[in-house]
Structure 1
Amino acid sequence: MNIPSPCFVLDEAKLIRNLELIDHVQKSAGIEIILAFKGFSMWSAFPVVKKYVKGATASSLNEVKLCNEEMGVKSHTYCVAYDDAEFDEIVSKSSHITFNSLSQYHRFIDQVPNDVSVGLRVNPEWSDVGTDLYNPSSPVSRLGVTAKNLTELPDRIEGLHFHVLCESDSYALENVLKNFKERFGKSLPQIRWVNMGGGHLMTRKGYDTDHLINLLSSFRKENNVEVILEPGSAFAWQTGDLYTTVLDVVENGDKKTAIFDGSFTCHMPDCLEMPYRPKLENGSDEEIAGWHAYRLGGVSCLAGDFLDDYWFEKPLQPGNSIIFKDMIHYTMVKTSTFNGVKHPSIAILRTNGEVDVVRKFGYSDFKNRLS
């Protein structure tokens, strides 16, 4: 395949496989699943996505515009805090508007037209997320209203929203729902919908989709509410990779570092933040006897732009390929042009086997986002 380096490559057939499963879940459970742009906003793939889901969730004015322009519908919108200068445009392009706090609700509710459905984000104070940096459900979290602070539901609130999972299974959601009902069950008769956010990794191998369907269907019927899910990872899970090339091999002390034409800092920041170790198409993240160990180093000049040892069957040399697996969800959306590092191209491996390079980046992309 003729793929530029570095390059994110989405496999269209794998995306369709995920979309078919997502569509099966929403139809079987009688719910609505929408796409979360924060996890996957590769709009060149939206013509395929729109065949299976009809909406998307946005968390900024830019994402709201993207939903209207490329999904062709108004967005389900939730922002941590709305800006006065942007709110009127946001609400005019939204079908649902969710507030993160009661103070934001009171500040903006008079500007919300009657045909826009209003929601409030709440904190069930339970999550299976093990990394504190990514856990939104602590009692002091800035995300959502706790039950202690919600003595009664304000007028015009038609829905409650929570998002406390991350690549979780349906049994984690079951625990969340128990806590949600304990804390906010008194409000359920007063609302029309419940948005259960994202983190539902239903497309992962081994996920119990039957349990998910039964859980969602039962909740919907028992509480007489519409149910909305907005996963990001589930859409693009294991649908594509980041192709890179070795530029140099540096040896200092007893450590060999393969410098590649990508960057953890710029292109895969979750590998440093989470931390998360990606698998390789052509190497191993675990030691194999007789294989050669290399630290992998990005091309930025930050000292910490590296991951410790990966193993390769043969010694690495400039020109060798390194392919990082599963880089399309929550990774590609976080890229930057720090240090002026070359931004990866974006391509789609079509179902007919052709590689469609849909975007290349250059100097103007770097320059125009600065001043």
Structure 2
Amino acid sequence: MPETPAFVYDQTAIDRTLSTFEEAAAGSGPRLLYSVKSFPFLPLLRRIAPRVDGLSASSLFEARLCAEALAGRGGLHITTPGFRPGEIDEIGRLCDFVSFNSLEQFDRWSARMEGTASVGLRVNPQLSFAPDPRYDPCRPHSKLGVPLDRLVPAEVGRLERLEGIHFHTVFDCASFEPLAEILAKLENKLGERLKRLRWLNLGGGYRLEGDLGRLAGFSTRLQRDYGLEVYFEPGKAVIGSAGYLVASVIDVFNSGGKTVAVLDSSINHHPEVFEYQRSPRLAEVCEEGRETAILAGGTCLAGDLFGEYALPTRPRIGDRLVFEDVGAYTLVKANRFNGHNLPSIYRWDGEALHLEQSYGYEDYRRQWGGEPAAQ
């Protein structure tokens, strides 16, 4: 068993997911990119890189890490709302595909990409599918992408360097129906002008357990009708269900008639618990459990609570508890609030756990020591 708190990712589950996509994409299916923002762990990126057509980044640091993992194999794609003047030249050297977020950035920077990267534009199809506007890329006054309505013929005509279009509109979506609606609107709006482009990036946010045959069908038609290279960039779909957060119970007491179990982990190790105000799935939960307990994180934040769970027995000090389906957006958002250490990272290979990274006081001190980084 790992020392806790621990983040465990199941390499065998990731391999199965990638194999499923490879089978569905065989032939004329879309080219697969792994969106690294969900879990940018270099040992994992190096293992994924040979199985995909490239990696997708959202910042210069992610792009540097991707380039190291790819080592010249596969394409490196990037889009972000915030291209910075001091970084744009390095991004152009590192990345093979650069999608600008606005027409203004396209005008300002696209010429700098000439001879290095294929230039694209992130487009906002102006179709909302996410019920929560905090996570809706197509919300009113969105910062993410050029509204499709702005791509009138006069605008398209001046984008001489434009080679591709990128869009991303959903989050954790089980159906490809939104993608069908988006493509229909895109084709209706741009029509034959799509033939002037080289590639189309369909974004991510879809679960790979959906109808992958339908996804492959979209790709086949876009290649046939417009001659486009088609890309698809899942992140959570690759790593989400393959990740676990393991914690130990360090205290148990009664509070107002309810059992509270304090863990050596915290929602600061899985910030989306607080962000989404939802409880992560617990492996030990028992619907017919005789005991219920509030599982609380170990920081001084009153709302540091994973939730209330039905359990087979009352928790005891030293018990291990496992939160499931937390592979994406956990460690990449995690923090050391109250000076609590980050979880160690373990890899499960189907037979044994392997410690891949751990943290200590020196990492904490380096962050807050007030000393300039060595040049």
Partner of 1:274: 276
Deviation string 1:2-38 (CA, Å, 9 cap, x unpaired) is: 3110111111211110110122233243321111011
CA deviation after TM superposition for structure 1 residue 56, in Å: 0.3
Q: Which runs of 5+ in 1 are unaligned?
A: none
Pick the aligned partner of 2:285 from 270, 283, 301.
Answer: 283
CA deviation after TM superposition for structure 1 residue 186, in Å: 5.4
Aligned partner of residue 7 in structure 2, secondary structure: strand
CA deviation after TM superposition for structure 1 residue 245, in Å: 0.4
Deviation string 1:265-293 (CA, Å, 9 cap, x unpaired) is: x1111112123432111124xxx345211
CA deviation after TM superposition for structure 1 residue 348, in Å: 0.5
Partner of 1:133: 134
Greater alpha carbon shift after TM alignment, 103-112 vs 308-317: 103-112
Aligned partner of residue 369 in structure 1, secondary structure: helix
Aligned partner of residue 334 in structure 1, secondary structure: coil
- Residues 142-291 of structure 1 correspond to what in structure 2 (within 5 A)? 142-151=143-152, 152-153=155-156, 154-168=159-173, 169-185=175-191, 187-202=193-208, 204=209, 207-264=210-267, 266-284=268-286, 288-291=287-290
Deviation string 1:79-108 (CA, Å, 9 cap, x unpaired) is: 212111111111110101110001111121
Deviation string 1:215-270 (CA, Å, 9 cap, x unpaired) is: 22223322221111111012113212111101112322123221111111x11111
Q: Determine whether 1:79 maps to 2:77.
A: no
CA distance in 2, matches of 1:29, 1:237: 26
CA deviation after TM superposition for structure 1 residue 363, in Å: 1.3
Partner of 1:338: 337
- Residues 46-65 of structure 1 correspond to what in structure 2 (within 5 A)? 46-65=45-64
CA deviation after TM superposition for structure 1 residue 138, in Å: 1.8
- Residues 45-124 of structure 1 correspond to what in structure 2 (within 5 A)? 45-73=44-72, 75-124=76-125
CA deviation after TM superposition for structure 1 residue 354, in Å: 1.8
TM-score normalised according to structure 2 size: 0.92
Greater alpha carbon shift after TM alignment, 41-50 vs 76-85: 41-50
CA distance in 2, matches of 1:338, 1:185: 51
Aligned partner of residue 218 in structure 1, secondary structure: helix
Q: Which runs of 5+ in 2 are unaligned?
A: 371-375
Deviation string 1:150-206 (CA, Å, 9 cap, x unpaired) is: 23221201001100011212222212222333344454122111111111211x3xx
CA distance in 2, matches of 1:235, 1:290: 32
Instruction: Judge conservation of contact 1:243–1:324 (CA < 8 Å) in 2.
Output: yes
CA distance in 2, matches of 1:157, 1:35: 23
CA distance in 1, matches of 2:190, 2:316: 59
Partner of 2:373: none
Aligned partner of residue 245 in structure 2, secondary structure: strand
Instruction: Judge conservation of contact 1:16–1:48 (CA < 8 Å) in 2.
Output: no
CA distance in 2, matches of 1:254, 1:223: 65
CA distance in 1, matches of 2:186, 2:253: 53
CA deviation after TM superposition for structure 1 residue 323, in Å: 0.3
Aligned partner of residue 361 in structure 1, secondary structure: coil
Aligned partner of residue 231 in structure 1, secondary structure: coil
Partner of 1:6: 5
Moved over 3 A (4+): 182-187
CA distance in 2, matches of 1:139, 1:191: 28
Aligned partner of residue 249 in structure 2, secondary structure: strand
* Alignment RMSD: 1.7
2:103 maps to amino acid? L
Aligned residues: 362
